[in-house]
Structure 1
Amino acid sequence: MSKQTKETKKYDPDVKVKDFCGKKKIFFLISLALILISLLSTFTGVDIALEFKGGTIITYSYVGEMDASTIEKEVGSLVGSSVRVQQGDSLDGDTHTLSLSFSSNDGLTADRQAEVTDKISSLYPDGEVEVLDSNDVDARSGSEFFAKCIVAAVFAALILIVYIAFRFKQISGWSAGVCAVLGLLSTLIVTYGSVVLLGFEIDSNFMAVILTLLGYAVNDTIVIYDRIRENQSLLVGVPIEELVNISNSQSLRRSLRTSITTFGSMLVVTIVALAMGLDSILSFSVPMMFGIAMGTFNSICFVPGLWVWWQKKRGVDVLKPTKKAAKAKA
């Protein structure tokens, strides 16, 4: 054990210092691999929700049993385009609901919708099929919503950089802010990849996940930066790699507990949604689980190592003591 590590025991004797910075190349490779897989997943096909593409949604009520795959095939052949089918239960419990989504710029005409209804009725003559609702979705409104979400995400990232830069100016705040946002960007890309690979739609739930992670995923990074700044005054002259290892190790238990608790909550929600067949909830809870896991990895492993690498490139081997620490030493 080095002299500096021995010295830190008087501040927190129960913490075992782990060599996070010594493994930063491995962490970088893991992050890079996950980012590449997520980006390449785009070529497998991205399922864009109707609210962003435009089209028509028709909702029916029916009794008995219907096969969703049969309806998709038969109705798809009728209209000459793909159709997405979702089934559910009515509030009264005696009937079921059937929602058909058609992607198109102009929607389905009234005659075309009547043909679809007749087709379903012919497939299931005893189903008592009735139209509950029919809506045309304008792609422009979805595009505007998507654009506003992107603007909000970019604005939030800029605010984070500025906030971290001023709050942690003692530890080269601008570099700390940029590293935190790069880690956040990595989290969002991997979350996107999980959505695509698992076959979920890019919809309003996906945008809700992204906006939630913007605030949540950087939280552990802020805690670690705060501990680095605190130890900068307590451990004057300690090499920057060891200072980060100590600070990260002191924050590790707290970070893991927070992430495990949140991840566990999303896991419970996912299990309940699977049992109840609530696909709309799954499209939020499952990507959130991936985002929480990746965000925790980035905060603990990727961002601190990246920040240390940045400081070493600038020729910083030891952080300068704060004015408070310098006066105390004098």
Structure 2
Amino acid sequence: MIVILIYVDDVIITGNCLAKIEEVKKKLDKNFSIKDLGVLKYFLGIEVARTKEGLVLSQRKYTLDILEDSGKIGCKPSSTPIEQGLKVDKGEENERVDASQYRRLVGRLLYLQATRPDITYSVNILSQFVADPRSNHLEAVNRILGYLKATPGQGILLSRTGDSTLSAYCDSDWLGCPYTRRSRTGYFLLLGGTPISWRTKKQFVVSRSSAEAEYRAMATTVSEIIWVRWLLSELRVHITSPTPLFCDNQAARHIANNPVYHERTKHVEMDCFFVRERVESKEIIPMNISSKMQIADLLTKGLSRQQLVFLLGKISMTNLHASS
């Protein structure tokens, strides 16, 4: 089996037979004159390091370039990317800042999320203000830069001993946006304990209850689970058991598991039937989890340093350059 990942003119070739890989490279070179860079070490700004535990994906050089270009290479390190419990508003009473500088910073941080789910929530929040950035928004961006100064080499560990178990975590912050009162959806998908897909996004409508907000988050996560299960099957990783979907909202789990339609759920009727259908087909199984163990909290709220480190430890985040 040969798998090829292509992005414009950058290509990764992998597979389970070295002889076949060499054969493919020779055929490609014959038709397109490719340049073989050898064992994968760097791809689109993502560094690949091999350790005895497995592969580590990080963006250390990219992170240091951001700090240097923004003049923050010597800034004071921060313990978290965003202040715990902070609700960032439009800040219309604050002074305007250089919009082009702010947009450039946020744009570069958005790409950094490819290996840094720990900054995804804070960057997503601040990306809402690129049209009219204020001093409070720039201060929040500088806090993220301070956090990156403390953890430039942090990345994702793809464990060599990991299995093919797929699990998912979903969460929402009810009425989290201070000026639209829309809730935020956050989810993590883990394969063998390693994060392979995550997202935080403001919901399209205002939810009238926390259960509704959680259920919308659950439906979004189920859509991603279905897609990932299909992708894995294409890669010949066959998952026959239901994917556990961990949610800390009892009402949302009850709606998903209960085939009886309730009057109070009519405003999320489509999501209800969509999720229940996948539960009945045994593609997913809603599971209970305590709020303290909810990994998706990384994507829906600012956390304390202690809780941030605890949750990052549960999703195979590692820092090769951390001082021992």
Please confirm whether the aligned pair reaches a TM-score higher than 0.5, indicating the same fold: no
Q: Which has the higher contact order (CA 8 A, sep 6+)?
A: 1
TM-score by length of structure 1 reads: 0.25
Q: Which has the higher helix share?
A: 1
Computing the radius of gyration over CA atoms, which structure comes out larger, 1 or 2?
A: 1
Instruction: Give the alignment's TM-score, normalised by structure 2.
Output: 0.25
**Greater strand share, structure number:** 2
